[in-house]
Amino acid sequence: MVRVSIPPTLRKLCGGEDTVTVRPGTVGDAIAQLHDRYNGIRDRLCDGGGRLRGSVLVFVNDEDIRFLGEQATPLKPGDEVSIIPAFAGG
């Protein structure tokens, strides 16, 4: 399975969980699985066209998916995904 860290902003929607697991596939598949389980999550993360919002960063094993394959980035068993608000730092 793949572990996904949920940011505090989304925990209310995820029953208070700070980590959830999803099946391997791609980042896009993981978002779809989360959306099936916790209705509304896709709208928080993505804009109307299904693209990740500029305000959301997704990392797979500590690498920003914009340096990998965006939502097509593959997820293998044991991978770790982090969802982070972009508006921090500096």
Partner 1 sequence: MSQSNGYMKALKCRECGREYPLAATHVCEFDFGPLEVAYDYDRIKKSLTRDVICTRPQTMWRYRELLPVAGEPTVGRQVGYTPLVKADRLAKRLGIRELWIKNDAVNFPTLSFKDRVVSVALSRSVELGFKTVACASTGNLANSVAANAAAAGLDSYVFIPSDLEIGKVVNSLVYGAHVIGIKGHYDEVNRLCAEIAGKYGWAFVNVNMRPYYAEGSKSMGYEIIEQLGWRIPEHTVVPMASGSLLTKVHKAYQEFIKVGLVGETKWKMHGAQATGCSPISTAQKAGLDFFKPVKPNTIAKSLAIGTPADGFYSLKVMKETGGAADDVTDDEVREGIRLLSECEGIFAETAGGVTVGVAKKLIASGKIAADSSAVLCITGNGLKTIEAMTGHVGATRDIRPSLREFEALLAQDKPELVTA
Give the interface with partner 1 as residue ranges (CB under 8 A).
5, 7-10, 12, 44-45, 53-57, 59, 62, 64, 66-67, 82, 84-90
Q: Give min distance, CB of 53 to partner 1, in A.
A: 6
Query: Closer CB to partner 1, residue 25 or residue 63?
Result: 63
Query: Closer CB to partner 1, residue 23 or residue 53?
Result: 53
Which tokens go with 53?
């919002």
Q: Give min distance, CB of 65 to partner 1, in A.
A: 10
Phi-psi region of 23 (alpha: psi -120 to 50; beta: other; left: phi over 0): beta
